[in-house]
Amino acid sequence: MSIIKQLEQLGIKAQTDIKQADSGDVLEKLRVGLLGKKGALTSILRGLKELSVEEKREVGGLANRLKGTIEESIATKREALSGGSGGSTIDYTLPGKPHAHGHRHLVTLVMDEFISIFQRMGFEIADGPEIETDHYNFGALNFPDDHPARDEHDTFYVDGGLLLRTHTSNVQIREFEKRTPPVKIIAPGRVFRNESVNARSFCVFHQVEGFLVDENVTFGDLKGALEAFCYEYFEEGVNLRFRPSFFPFTEPSAEVDVQCFLCSGKGCTLCKYEGWLEILGCGMIDPEVFRSVGYDSEKYTGYAFGVGIERMALLKYRINDIRLLYENDARFIRQFR
């Protein structure tokens, strides 16, 4: 077969193969097989030295045009395969890929719900630093230097005498310094404690601290506010119990328990056979705290409370391990929108 005939046949076969190529890899193999150093075109042209000068010129020209055509076809096909403009392979009738919709995390949802409930009760929102001085986290809140309550907080200390706040009560002091009563504020935010991580506790969690200072504020006002909040949040009849407790910055202090949802108070593994689950701490603000911010403790009284977001989320949504909230397993997170 003459060289010219061979070149013509190579051209026809190349166009068919390029058309049928279904991936970039196949196309690249084709290109090497046709135009590479050991490719089909080169091997045909090896017969060139048998020819006369005139024939060489003719065949050479044909070979160059063929090479150009093949390169062009490959380029066009490559663009089509990658979804580019020459795309005869795109099927416009196929349904599109749906966009993944994000949503808020359960911790944020519960936090937003708390904020919404307390806003309707007339509380303002305030924010404060997560890296704090000893004074705002402990000192001004009536934690004496050698008080064991400091150890209970398992504090993370930072260079320069600073610490990661162990509660959002630091906002209490910062706001008291800026305002004169009446003050009615909630401080939602992240807090840090150097606790061992297990099903019940985590080293980072969220808290809403609330405080009200005015003339004639009583423990009855505190009970009323917390009951209203709990009834709203749990959306069902819940039994609450106030149990005497101790916090350095409140006197008297109480912890609030809610009757166990699982066993209705009879006792089960969730409530450790107590029938009650602890949900928050609260009390009347200690006069020492007022003294540290220059409020007249003879004139004003006030209450404060602190609710853990994660704990309340676990209770309401019957989740048995706090770590699930932080493992970012989409299968878990997607259940709460």
Q: Which residues bind Zn ion (CB under 5 A)?
A: 260, 262-263, 268, 270-271
Q: Minimum distance from CB of 202 to Zn ion (Å)?
A: 22
For 5, 34, 51, 333, the CA distances from 1, given in Å and listed in that order, are: 6, 19, 14, 71
Question: Measured at CB, which residue is nearest to Zn ion?
Answer: 260
CB atoms within 10 A of CB 258: 20
What secondary structure does DSSP assign to 203-244, as a single string? SEEEEEEEEEEETT--HHHHHHHHHHHHHHHH-S---EEEEE
Q: Which is nearer to Zn ion, 129 or 265 (CB)?
A: 265
Q: Which is nearer to Zn ion, 14 or 260 (CB)?
A: 260
Q: Which is nearer to Zn ion, 179 or 241 (CB)?
A: 241
Q: Minimum distance from CB of 242 to Zn ion (Å)?
A: 19
Q: Which is nearer to Zn ion, 278 or 288 (CB)?
A: 278
Q: How far is CA 311 from the centre of its chain?
A: 18
Q: 46-76: string of b/e by CB count within 10 Å (b at 16+)?
A: eeeeeeeeeeeeebeeebeebeeebeebbee
Q: Minimum distance from CB of 269 to Zn ion (Å)?
A: 7
Q: Which is nearer to Zn ion, 271 or 279 (CB)?
A: 271
Q: Minimum distance from CB of 264 to Zn ion (Å)?
A: 8
Q: Which is nearer to Zn ion, 204 or 268 (CB)?
A: 268
Helix, strand, coil % over all residues of the chain, rounded to 5: 45, 20, 35
Asked if omega into 182 is within 30° of 0 (cis), the reply is: yes
Q: Which is nearer to Zn ion, 269 or 328 (CB)?
A: 269
The H-or-E segment that residue 70 falls in is: helix 53-81
What secondary structure does DSSP assign to 112-172, as a single string? HHHHHHHHHTT-EE----SEEEHHHHTGGGT--TT-HHHHHT-PPEETTTEEE-SSTHHHH
Q: Minimum distance from CB of 244 to Zn ion (Å)?
A: 22
Q: Minimum distance from CB of 261 to Zn ion (Å)?
A: 8
Q: Which is nearer to Zn ion, 258 or 284 (CB)?
A: 258
Q: Minimum distance from CB of 112 to Zn ion (Å)?
A: 28
Q: Minimum distance from CB of 134 to Zn ion (Å)?
A: 39
**Cα–Cα distance between 303 and 247 in angstroms, integer?**
12
